[in-house]
Structure 1
Amino acid sequence: MRPGDSGPAVRALQARLRQIGWFDGDVTDYYGTRTTAAVRGFQTKRGLAATGLLDEPTWQRLVAMTHPPTTDELNNVVPAPQPLSWDVDSRCLTGFVICISKTTRSLTVVRDGTARYAMDVRFGSEMEPTREGVFHITWKKVDVVSNLYHTPMPYSMFFSGGQAIHYSSNFARLGYNGSSHGCVNVRDWDGMVRLYNETPVGTTVVIHW
């Protein structure tokens, strides 16, 4: 696809780009300047030819990093907020905090003491435990492969040495029948992408029982 094209395929392209933070605002059926800039930015970041045109290598890379857009995503429908209960820790009540409970095996995004959304998480084993305490996101990267275990760690947000919050296909497939090597595993792809895009470096992470 290229500038001037229109139709549902353009809308789907914009929705996928929006999932990973490259397209802002409502999606449309028109491939204009916003789409061109988003595609070019994505290509530059991934080391592809930065033409602003959607070629096959760009499309395949984008598909690998995103999911098929939902009906709501294609129609610019923002999900209504739902009341959310969470495992309260006093250290999570001020500012923007990623509050992680080992008791309930949940990650809750908290802003000024109000829970915004939550996800299931999995931790390390007794041999490779996930550290507890108050941390901060030190760096983040979408495409990460573990140097030690050679496994993908998409949308990694590092908070303590090599320990990170990241999506885990193994957790998505096996659930709690496995464990991480110390990281906080997330099995909700959409939730992890959202969290990654909303979380700046320096964000507080609290891991508690």
Structure 2
Amino acid sequence: MGDIRRRGAVALGITSLVAPLALAAGTAPAHAASCTTKAGPHQKKVEKFLGRPADGKQSGADCKAIRAFQTKHGITPAIGYAGPVTWGVMDLMQKQKAVGKNPNKAGRCPVNKGRIACVNLTLQISWIQDGKKLKYGPVPVRTGRDGYETRTGSKKIYWRTIDHVSTIYDVPMPYSQFFDGGQAFHSAAVSMWNPPGSRGCVNMTKADAKKYWSLLKNGDDVYVYGRKPGT
């Protein structure tokens, strides 16, 4: 995030680029970088998620598949032990997939405002609606970690900058669309399932951030609700 210049004024925000997930802390055994032979607390579920034989026993192939998943999503230590954080990411992915194309089924995001960008912190998803019509999404997002939570409630996009760079964290924030005191939609060069989360912003893939950029404008509504796991 950084200094936000709007009509000559400068405001400092608190966002980041560092999803989905600050889950209950669960660390793997203190092994070296070699593959662990220890089964995790959700071993059968993890095996099933990865398309492995769900016998609840850690095999060399299980470890290799788990470690590849951890490496892809920045889950550390990536030693093939599926602890609570690893399973939490997998479980969240399954819940996001189950939403399908009806992300506002519970009616939590107000759709009587015309064009609106909705953010469900609990499921770490976002989408754009126009009245009852789903315009884009839902897509996975990476919101604020514990202590840097993305603030909930009704907001509006008030400033857009396509090549923003954080002057606080010195990181690029492409396709930034600010909606609440420095918190913004923007693309991030990490997995959307990379724990523990951002420092307040709603991180997106580059493709999704570009689409949001093309669909939204200053003055459009944003509604954030729910609670990110682990916050």
Fold-level similarity (TM above 0.5): yes
Q: Which residue matches 1:122?
A: 142
Asked whether the 8 Å contact 2:113–2:221 carries over to 1, the reply is no
Q: How does 1:117-156 map to 2 (within 5 A)?
A: 117-118=136-137, 119-156=139-176
| SS of corresponding position for 1:109 | strand
Asked whether the 8 Å contact 1:139–1:159 carries over to 2, the reply is yes
Asked whether the 8 Å contact 1:93–1:110 carries over to 2, the reply is no
CA distance in 1, matches of 2:175, 2:210: 7
User: Which shifted more, 190-199 or 90-99?
Assistant: 90-99
Which residue, 117, 120, 124 being the options, matches 1:101?
120
Deviation sequence 1:5-35 (CA, Å, 0-9, x none):
xxxxxxxxxxxxxxxxxxxxxxxxxxxxxxx
Q: Which residue matches 2:132?
A: 113
Deviation sequence 1:138-189 (CA, Å, 0-9, x none):
01011011111111100000001111110011235xx2323111001112x2
Q: Which residue matches 2:103?
A: 86
CA distance in 1, matches of 2:191, 2:177: 17
CA distance in 1, matches of 2:146, 2:109: 26
Cα shift at 1:92? 3.2
CA distance in 2, matches of 1:134, 1:185: 18
Normalised by the length of structure 2, the TM-score is 0.51
Deviation sequence 1:62-117 (CA, Å, 0-9, x none):
xxxxxxxxxxxxxxxxxxxxx82103324234300001101211111101122222
Kindly report structure 1 stretches of 4+ aligned residues shifted beyond 4 Å: none
CA distance in 2, matches of 1:108, 1:90: 10
Aligned residue type for 1:89: R
Which residue, 176, 191, 195 being the options, matches 1:177?
195
Aligned residue type for 1:165: F
Asked whether the 8 Å contact 1:124–1:180 carries over to 2, the reply is yes
Cα shift at 1:192? 1.4
| Ranges in structure 1 where 5+ consecutive residues have no aligned partner | 1-82
Aligned residue type for 1:176: N
| Ranges in structure 2 where 5+ consecutive residues have no aligned partner | 1-99, 227-231
CA distance in 2, matches of 1:185, 1:128: 13
Cα shift at 1:201? 0.3
- Please state if 1:157 is matched with 2:165: no
Asked whether the 8 Å contact 2:109–2:118 carries over to 1, the reply is no
Q: Once superposed, what is the RMSD of the aligned Cα atoms?
A: 1.6
The count of aligned residue pairs is: 124
Rate the CA distance shift 1:121–1:184 in 2: closer, same or farther, 3 A.
same
Normalised by the length of structure 1, the TM-score is 0.56
- If asked which structure has higher relative contact order (CA below 8 Å, sep 6+), I would say 2
CA distance in 1, matches of 2:144, 2:215: 25
CA distance in 1, matches of 2:117, 2:110: 10
